[in-house]
Amino acid sequence: MNNYLTLSPNQNKLLISFFGKLTLYTIGIHEKQLATFNFSTFKSVVINLEEVSEMDTAAAIFIMNLSNRVSSEGLDVELSCSSEAMLQTLRLIKKQKQKSLHIPHAINRTLIDAIGKKAYSIYKNFSSFLSFLGKLFSTKIFYLKSLKNIRFKEIAFEINESAIKALGIIALTSFLIGVVVAYQSAFQLKIYGANIFIVDMLGISILRELSPLITAIVIAGRSGSAYTAQIGAMKITEELDAMKTMGFDPYIYLYMPRIIALMLAMPILIFVSDIMAVIGGMVVANLDLGITTDLFLKRFNDVVAAKHFFIGIVKGPFFAFLIATIGIYRGMMVKNDTQSIGFNTTKSVVEAIFAVIVCDAIFSIAFTNLGL
């Protein structure tokens, strides 16, 4: 069937008749025909849809706009249509159009309003995080009640994903940090002829502070962000809801294995980081200051107490808990769009690094006051 329209003037009345399909793909031609037509010579217009075989919402908007245009010129408009389906479409478009006309005006907020809104948002996020922590600790108590509850296979898998596969980047980063710190220190120590004291400085700073901190930052960027992306993707695809429907608690099957795996693996990663950073410092001490490997290790054994090593190792599980918890929580906060994954992944890394630095500062203050 051909798609066209006819204009039939009858004294003071104009009959606009549409034929065939009236859809998004045909209304363009009709719009061109009617764009320059002068309706002012008539008193009334009849829009005839009796011969229309099909009409979509785009065509309904076109008919409504045509009717409004004619009415705005002071003419009476009459619609001729016996199809109930088309009439329902036209009524729906008119109803939605009326709703869209009531657009609320933007409210000009003052500085006090903005501060209050931001403070309330921070309060809500903090309250939500505390609720998540409470659920996590209660799950952990249940988890550790019996060995049967512990999912060893999932924990082993997460240790491999979060720790074993991160050994390379941890080792390389730590080696380079050791090289840089030793090289910068060597320049100053040579001025005062205190070459041998590079061992003291490297040993204490690396074992106690640098290795745990660098390892935690790398893991936050690598594993923390991965946790957020994984949990976020599962939320978008409704896998978390499907697990709950089937009776599987995500806290037991997803969250706890990741947290426990990272807490177990972090001390091992810090230990590897200690070794590689000391080796990096040893290489620079040998090449730049002429301190042999034997002399370096002997001095290291004499002046660096074991407590510095254990202090660094003890920080590992706490850092791991913060990184995994923040990563998982941010994954739970993902909304149903891909942009939200990127936003929450970025926030998880930033917040995890900030939390690790704050935790390290608390440890430093506590250990110093305890005389350790």
Q: Are residues 222 and 136 in the same domain?
A: no
Cα dihedral sign for 319, 325, 331, 334?
Answer: negative
CATH number of residue 36's parent domain: 3.30.750.24
Q: Are residues 48 and 130 in the same domain?
A: no
Domain of 55, in residue numbers: 4-101
pLDDT at residue number 105 = 59
Whether 107 is covered by a domain: the verdict is no
Tens digit of each residue's pLDDT, the chain (372 residues): 577 778 888 878 888 888 888 888 888 888 888 887 887 778 888 888 888 888 888 888 888 888 888 888 888 888 888 888 888 888 888 877 655 555 555 566 778 888 888 888 888 888 888 888 888 888 878 777 777 777 888 888 888 888 888 888 999 999 999 888 888 888 777 777 777 888 888 888 888 888 999 999 999 988 888 889 888 888 888 888 888 888 887 888 888 888 889 999 999 999 999 999 989 888 888 887 788 888 888 888 888 888 888 998 999 999 999 999 999 988 888 887 778 888 888 889 998 999 999 999 998 888 888 877
Q: Are residues 138 and 157 in the same domain?
A: no
Whether 210 is covered by a domain: the verdict is yes
* Local structure of 17: helix, strand or coil: strand
Q: Are residues 36 and 142 in the same domain?
A: no
Tokens representing residue 41 in the block? 């010579």
Structural domain tally of the chain?
3
pLDDT at residue number 100 = 53
Q: Are residues 169 and 288 in the same domain?
A: yes
Whether 354 is covered by a domain: the verdict is yes
Q: Are residues 190 and 124 in the same domain?
A: no
Q: Are residues 303 and 313 in the same domain?
A: yes
Q: Are residues 213 and 338 in the same domain?
A: yes
Q: Are residues 267 and 324 in the same domain?
A: yes
pLDDT at residue number 134 = 85
Q: Are residues 40 and 85 in the same domain?
A: yes
Q: What is the DSSP string of 244-297?
A: HHTT--HIIIIIHHHHHHHHHHHHHHHHHHHHHHHHHHHHHHHHHH---HHHHH
Q: Hey, what amino acid is at 352?
A: A
